[in-house]
Amino acid sequence: MNRATVATLHQLRKMRDWYVIRQASGVTLPTQKPEPLERRHFVFHGKVQKVGFRLLLKSLADRMHITGWVVNNENLDVEAEIQGTPTQLAFLEDYFMHGVRRITVTAVEEHDCDLALDENQFLIK
């Protein structure tokens, strides 16, 4: 690729990221209530890569003070470990199943895992 093409792709990615972050800032979040923390491992199947899934999840997690991580898998799934309250986890799963037209989640695998109490942020790996 020549420099002009690389620069154009960089600008397009910046615009996409701006759009995704702006979308996340407009989402109405569930009311915070005192609940014990849980940590779940998720694998999202479907059209979940190249659609801003990871950045949207990170932006929502940051707003909700949720910790964990998210990563694209080579098989085009997205994998995440998310630590928050049961209400927060249910909200995120439902939001990604039904709330974003450009994302099509066809199936979700999930299981509980051990809390990571020393974790203090949400990362895109």
Q: pLDDT digits over 66-113, tens only? A: 999 999 999 999 999 999 999 999 999 999 999 888 999 999 999 999
**Residue 54 a catalytic site member:** yes
Please name each of the domains of the chain with its CATH number.
3-124 (3.30.70.100)
Helices (H), 26-85: 53-64
3-state secondary structure of 31: coil
Catalytic residue among 72, 73, 75, 120: 72
3-state secondary structure of 116: coil
- Residues 106-119 pLDDT 10s: 999 999 999 999 99
* pTM for this entry: 0.89
% pLDDT > 90, the chain: 72
Distances, alpha carbon 76 to alpha carbons 34, 37, 49, in Å? 36, 29, 6
CA 71 – CA 49 distance, rounded (Å): 10
CA 71 – CA 110 distance, rounded (Å): 15
**Residue 102 a catalytic site member:** no
Q: Do 80 and 53 form a contact (C-beta atoms < 8 A)?
A: no
CA 68 – CA 124 distance, rounded (Å): 9
Tokens encoding 34: 């005192």
What is the chain's alpha carbon radius of gyration, rounded to the nearest angstrom? 15
Catalytic residue among 3, 13, 54, 120: 54
